[in-house]
Structure 1
Amino acid sequence: MSSSEATLLPADIAQRMTMYGRYEFAPQQSPPDTASRVNDLIYQPLYPVAAANPDAFVAALADAVLPVGGWAVYGGQRCVRDLITVRIRHPGYVAMVVAALRFLRQQNYGLMNIAPAELEVWREIFPSSPCDGEW
């Protein structure tokens, strides 16, 4: 990540994405104040960056969360969808979706836990992968 990309995001972006990922996946299991904190932790500081330069935002976010994996990468790909669009196919976004779905699969979550936009990316990358029955 270049130094200009590094300054786009808060220093604690991986922790923010971990919290966001857990919240997005299971809001009912999140601490009670999480919903009210999402705006301050995610939307207010990140939306202006994502709107001003979507490509740099996605690249910087992918660089920050892919090495961490788990809920951070799940939150990262959800954040991109929420702040930019579900139709994005930036390489960093695609890498986050693939890593997030591999994480969910390793955790034994079923297809009912996969959003249609996530499954669409998976099928584009792995067209011969069995995604309709056995996950």
Structure 2
Amino acid sequence: MALSAGNPRATRLPGDVVARMERFGRFEFDPAATGIDATDVWGELQEPFLPFAESDPGGFARELANAVLPAGGFALFGAARTMWNLIGSDFDDPAYRSVRTAALEFFRANGVPAGRLPTDDWLFWRKNHSEPWLAGSPPPAPGEARITPLAPGELRRVAQITEMPDSNVVHVGTADDGRFVAVVDAPASDTDPTRSRFVWMSADTLHALYTGIGEAFQTPVHWAAEELRPFIPLPPSRF
């Protein structure tokens, strides 16, 4: 539903504003999957809106909300992030809150885990909602879980995050103090492919460690060992 009617400032938004917000929303959510050149994002999807946003933040928010709320989908997220970018992180306006909430409800309805949300959006959700983000399956009880004990010195591969050759890989092993540890094998950085390992988390039992890994993943990764899969609480998200 529109938040205002008959406002002549609506003409200050381009006719393809919903399409631009949809593209920007997809880029903000998963840049690598969009195929959009990051160098074009500002000039094509953000800068054209800057004069309106700077001269009349409230009017810009209302007109943008009027455009994207009926459309739904990624346009909601694109519009919410556009207001955040162009007006400021401290902007507080009913139109902005409506769009931001609708964007988060869109992700929630499509099973997107909280870990894939921007931190500020996750904090906004927690501040304004008491219900859980998503309700997943509980992990198997210790007596029901089928976990093969680790052999002395074993470092067991249990997950690969993506299908890419340079994907992070998760192993489990035993530390010198006897605790069980999850060890991530990953490139040093986006520009340095040299791989290194670091301890990600630890627990007193393998069951507790698998529970922690599953809670961190939330949804299935590219590959997970059969004994780890029951600990991942949610089905795949739609995105």
Q: TM-score, normalised by structure 1?
A: 0.88
Alpha-carbon separation, structure 1, partners of 2:89 and 2:31: 20
2:12 counterpart of 1:31: no
Q: CA deviation at 1:39?
A: 2.1
SS in 2 for 1:18: helix
The correspondence for 1:11, drawn from 15, 27, 39, is 15
CA deviation vs aligned residue, 1:27-84 (integer Å, no higher than 9, x gap):
0111143x23212222221011101110000010011001101100010001111111
2:134 counterpart of 1:123: no
Higher-helix-fraction structure: 1
1:84-123 equivalences under 5 Å are: 84-123=87-126
Rg larger in structure: 2
Give the 4+ runs in structure 1 shifted more than 4 A: none
The alignment's C-alpha RMSD in Å is: 1.7
Question: Which of the pair has the greater relative contact order for Cα pairs under 8 Å at 6+ separation?
Answer: 1
- For the 8 Å contact 2:54–2:87, the answer to whether it is kept is yes
Structure 2 unaligned spans of 5+: 137-239
CA deviation vs aligned residue, 1:66-111 (integer Å, no higher than 9, x gap):
1101100010001111111122221111111111111111111101
SS in 1 for 2:90: coil
2:26 counterpart of 1:22: yes
Alpha-carbon separation, structure 1, partners of 2:80 and 2:36: 23
SS in 2 for 1:7: helix
Name the aligned partner's letter for residue 75 of structure 1: G
Alpha-carbon separation, structure 1, partners of 2:65 and 2:33: 26
Q: CA deviation at 1:134?
A: 4.2
Percent of residue pairs bearing the same amino acid type? 33
Structure 1 unaligned spans of 5+: none
1:59 is matched with 62
Q: CA deviation at 1:117?
A: 1.6
